[in-house]
A and B are shown apart, each in its own frame.
Chain A
Amino acid sequence: MLASPTPLHIPDGFLSITVSLLFWVVTIAVLSVAVRRTESVDEKQVPLMGIMAAFIFAAQMINFPVAGGTSGHLLGGALAAIVLGPWAGMLVMTAVIGVQGLLLQDGGLLVMGANLLNMGLLTSAIGFGLYRSTQGRQRKLKLGVAGFAAWLSVMAGALATSLQLWLSGTARLDIVLPAMLGIHAVIGIGETLITVAALAFIFRTRPDLLEQTEGPARGGRGWIVVGALISLAVLILSPLASTDPDGLERVASDLGFLSQGTEAPFKILSNYSFPILGEGALSTIVAGLIGILVVAAIVILITRSRKTQPH
């Protein structure tokens, strides 16, 4: 009952420090925008997002039997963004994934930045972006696009997870990627079916709640571009990386992302050394500390900039 809806909650230990910190930086940057954008909406927004986070948490427990003892679940990122708007969707998913990691150890703490990006940010961006393109269209088209977005959001999460595992030197891309994408292509169908049925139910009973997300109040047309770009990246990258993982590896190594060393490959600060200090222990620690300081600095900067705003 408490199992993760999808095998996407990465525990601590599976991602390298560099990859963990990198994705914390990206996630914090996106979330700080999300906080600023939602804070000013209206005074009801915060309690609403809190209850919606509890809703997603609880809805993830609703399953339906598929076949052979497996069951379909909801991840909920696309649904949350469609009903609440993209920024609120991201924050709601952040709360859900954060509590799952902190309270239930469903996903690690140091790697939480990556988990938030995979299951919260990407899913919300795809879900809302694609759905936003159907504004003013027929309900059937809306549901169809929402269903596709739900499937793709799960695939995006699986793709990002595979890439992070590979960049961390934890998994071989040519095996983990087809495996993850294959499993999630099926899991994604459950996501699609539940998302579409849930939206159809809301359309029938409280259409006013969905109409609120229409219009520029929740997210402008720019989201269509964002959603489409991420979707395209997933659709192109997935088959490409699955059929030609060596190609991706070449690109990554050309970009200086991979060092083809014998041990601990795939690190930006190669083997955690700080060039000026040579190869000793001190150098390793300094390299690690720099990474931490960078993250800390960004966090402090963001909180500072938030504090200057009127409370």
Chain B
Amino acid sequence: MHANVFDRYHDGSSLLHHLAPTVKVVVAVLFILSNALLPDGDWLSFGISWGVILLLNLLAQLGLGFTFKRSFIVLPFTMAAITALFSLPGETLAVWDFGPWHLVATDLGLVRFLSIVVRSWLSVQIAILLVATTQFPDLIHALEHLRLPRMLITVIAFLYRYLFVLTDEVMRLLRARQARSAVLPGQRGGGGILWRAQTAGNMVGQLFVRSYERSDRIFNAMLSRGYQGHIRTFNRHEVIARDWLIMALAIFLFSILQLFAHL
């Protein structure tokens, strides 16, 4: 596996690709907010929101099912919400008894559970769309426009640059471990769990020391190019009229959706 799997950007020249990153971040968060504000069981509004996602998929020229195919990463977490089934009073659907737990699944509980899953499933799709149409360095600039502290932005920029370098290093360490994990026929390999944990811990320690030394070298490289304690960057992404217009349109649409959902 190459560390490039962390790249989620899909090159393109659609309207969505060209929109100011700041606007994209704001609209994505507003969409997630809008999902969170929709009442349980308002399937029509959820459906409209999904329609918005589908439309954006088309606009981004990624194909209708692009975000849907990648949205299953939230599935494991639905385990945590499954107890919502039993958490509300209402018409009984089923009853289970597990040890100390008396579980009554109700219709309201079911509606709540499904609503949580749908909200999460819609929200993750807009986030997928955001990183698929925006280079991550541009997202970092967006955070700068949104007034995140400069220091945190810089730390994130370093993290992004070096996560590829260091994960490659981890791959090499893991491969080296694998290459030496030989087991003779008839023998039980792998040592005890403590031994295995210690091997992993040594790798972490190794990686830490190497990373620390690397940070010294990087610091020297920065100093020799004039760094004096404060990072300076360009403000390269201007928000133009089209961006404002699209943001206004998005806010208007989300407001209408909320108004109808709560009437």
Contacts and interface: CB of A to CB of B under 8 A. Distances in A.
A and B touch in the complex (CB under 8 A): yes
A223 interface: no
Contacts of A105: 73-74, 124, 127-128, 131
Given A57-B163, A175-B83, A200-B205, A285 B262 contact: yes
A209 interface: yes
A303 B147 CA distance: 7
Interface in B69-122: 73-74, 76-77, 79-81, 83-84, 86-90, 101, 108, 112, 116-122
A200 B259 contact: no
Interface string B17-55: 000000000001100110111011000000000000000
B167 interface: yes
B119 A12 contact: yes
Nearest to A58: B166
A170 B198 contact: no
A50 B67 CA distance: 30
A184 to B, nearest CB: 13
Contacts of A102: 127, 131, 136, 139
Interface stretch (A35-43, A125-133, A232-240): A35-43
A59 B167 CA distance: 8
Contacts of A62: 170, 173-174, 200, 203-204, 207
A36 B149 CA distance: 10
B193 interface: yes
Contacts of B39: 264
B204 A43 contact: no
B212 to A, nearest CB: 6
A299 interface: yes
A7 B77 contact: yes
A98 interface: yes
Contact of A51 (B117, B162, B230): B162
B120 A14 contact: yes
Main SS class of interface, A = helix
Contacts of A43: 227-229
Contacts of A31: 152
A221 interface: no
A42 to B, nearest CB: 8
Contacts of B36: 12-13, 16-17, 20, 110
B160 A12 contact: no
A262 B88 contact: yes
Contacts, number: 299
A58 B169 contact: yes
Give the most central of A9, A12, A61, A209: most B CB within 10 Å: A12
Q: How large is the interface on B (under 10, 10 to 19, 20 to 34, 35 or more residues)?
A: 35 or more
A32 B147 CA distance: 12
Interface string A95-107: 1101101111110
A79 B149 CA distance: 24
A51 B156 CA distance: 9
A272 B40 contact: no
Contact of B116 (A13, A38, A92): A13
Contacts of A106: 73
B218 interface: yes
Contacts of B202: 197-198, 201
Interface residues of A, number: 98
A10 B214 CA distance: 33
Contact of B262 (A1, A53, A170, A281): A281
B120 A51 contact: no
B64 to A, nearest CB: 19
A1 B1 contact: yes
A170 B116 contact: yes
B151 A46 contact: yes
A2 B174 CA distance: 15
A139 interface: no
A53 B159 contact: yes
Given A13-B35, A175-B101, A103 B209 contact: no
A114 interface: no
Nearest to B113: A170
B22 to A, nearest CB: 14
Interface string A64-78: 111100001010000
B193 A197 contact: no
Interface string B193-217: 1101111111111111101101100
Interface of A: 1-2, 7, 9-14, 16-17, 20, 31-32, 35, 38-39, 43-44, 46-55, 57-59, 61-67, 72, 74, 79, 83, 91-92, 94-96, 98-99, 101-106, 108-110, 165, 169-172, 174-176, 180, 190, 193-202, 205-206, 209, 262-265, 272, 280-281, 284-285, 288, 292, 299-300, 303, 306, 311
7 contacts: A31-B152, A49-B155, A66-B193, A95-B152, A106-B73, A201-B205, A280-B263
Given A55-B207, A95-B156, A303-B149, 6 more contacts: A61-B167, A108-B32, A172-B87, A198-B201, A201-B202, A285-B259
8 closest cross-chain pairs (CB), A and B: A197-B201, A50-B158, A201-B205, A13-B120, A281-B262, A13-B119, A193-B197, A12-B123
